[in-house]
Amino acid sequence: MSPSLLVVLCQLLLLLLLGNSEPSGATLIRVPLRRAHPGHSILSPLGTWGQSIEPSRLGTPISGNKSTLVALSKFMNTQYFGNIGLGTPPQNFTVVFDTGSSNLWVPSTRCYFFSVPCWFHHRFNPKASSSFQSNGTKFTIQYGTGRLSGVLSEDTLTIGGIKGDPVTFGEALWEPSLIFAFAHFDGILGLGFPSLAVGGVRPPLDTLLEQGLLEKPVFSFYLNRVSEGSDGGELVLGGSDPAHYIPPLTFVPITVPAYWQVHMDSVKVGTGLYLCAHGCSAILDTGTSLITGPSEEIRALNMAIGGFPFLAGQYLIQCSKIPELPPVSLSLGGVWFNLTGQDYIIKILHSDFGLCLSGFQALDIPKPAGPLWILGDVFLGSYVAVFDRGDKKSGPRVGLAKARSRVAGRGGGEAAQAQFSSGRPG
C-alpha cells in the first residue's frame, strides 16, 4: 500500500468513526446539497480549512413559492453538510444535518485553549450578536471517541433564508480528540426526536414547527452520490419533493421514537447468504457514513463480497472487482431495497485500480439499545428517505423510494431504474 493511500485511508477512518408526498400548500425549506469536490486536497487535511463561508450560502427565497435554498457540501460521498447562521447578524457555520442526534452545537470563541479542534473551525462569538441570550447551563454529549462539553445559549437560527425566533444551542468549549479537527464541518444540527436531546433541549426542528415556519413535521433527504460535479443533493424541511424519487414511497413505522428506528425484515447477499434472518432493528442515520451491523454478520457479508479486514471493523476490497460484486438487498416494510457494488463500495481515489472501502462496517451496539443495524449514507444515497414525525392520528414513520439519478445537475438527469420489488430478490 502506498504511503499516500495510507494517509487517505487513515483520514477517512477518522471521519467515519463519528459516529407520503408533501401536502399541497405546505411551507417548505429547501436545502440544495452542494458537494465540495476535494480532488488532491484529500491528502491535505488543512486543504479546505480557514475558508470563509459566503453569506449567500445561507440561502435565499425562491420567487413564486415559499421554498428557499441553502448550499450544502459533501466529502468523498461520506459526509453531507451545509450552512446555517446563528445570531444577528448571522454568524455562518457548516453543520452535519444528523438524524442520529437531536441537539445543535457549534464551536465557541470561549473554547478551552487545549481544545485543538476548536481552533480549526468557525467559532460562535456571543459578543458579535445583538440577539444573543445567555443560558449558561452546562451540557455534555458522549461520543465513541470522547466527551464534548460546553454551555447552552440562545440565539436566532437562519436556515434556508428563513430567520426565526431564538433556538437553544450548545457552544462547544471542549471537543474530544483529533477526529473533530479533521472533520470538514464545524458542528452538528440534530434532526432526531426530542427524547434523544441532551439536557432536555428542544430540537431545532421542533422550534421551527412551533414558530410556524414549517407546516408539517416532515423532512426528506436526497443525497447525490455521483462522483463528478459539485451537486450533493437536497434536504427538504417541511415535506418532500416527488421529483427526487421514483414512486411509490414505502412507509415503515418507527418502532422507537428516539433515533429513527425501524424493523428490518432481512438482509440478503447475492443469491445465498441471509442475515438478520429473524428480523432485526435498524436506524436511518444521515450522520453515519456507512452501513453498520453486528460484527459476526458484517464479517460474513464482507467475506461473501471478497472484502478483507482493515481497521475498526472496516473492510477493504479490490476496486477492479466492483462490476462483479453481488447485490446486497435489505427488506424493509415488506419491500426489498437492492444495492449494487457501485452503490456500496467507496472509491477512496478516483481509480478502478487499487483498494476501495466496503460500505459495510462492523459495529456491536450493546443491549438494551442494541443490537442494531445503522443505515447510513451508503443506503440513503440510493434511496430517498422521507422522515415523518406524524401526528395524533398517525404515528411517526419513514418513507423510502428509489432516488432518481442526478447526473445533469440539480433537477436534471433521467430517472434511475427502480431496484425494489414486492417479492424476494432473485
71 and 84 Cβ atoms separated by less than 8 Å: no
Spell out a b/e string for 331-340, using b for 16 or more CB atoms within 10 Å of the CB, else e.
bbbebbbbbe
Among 83, 26, 15, 378, residue whose Cα is nearest residue 235:
83
d(CA 407, CA 300): 34
Residue 364 designated active-site: no
Provide the H-helix boundaries in 284-376. 295-305, 341-344
> What is the spatial distance between Cα 368 and Cα 366, in angstroms, rounded to a whole number?
6
Helix, strand or coil, per DSSP, at residue 275: strand
Name the active-site residue from 186, 231, 265, 285.
285
Sequence-distant (6+) residues with CB within 8 A of 410 are: 32, 231, 234
Does residue 343 have an active-site annotation?
Answer: no
> What does the alpha-carbon distance between residue 138 and residue 171 come to, in Å, rounded to a whole number?
10
Which of these is catalytic: 98, 231, 343, 388? 98
Take residue 221 and report the three cell numbers written for it.
433527504
Side chain identity, residue 413: G
Grid cell in block for residue 148: 464534548
Which residues belong to the active site? Answer: 98, 285
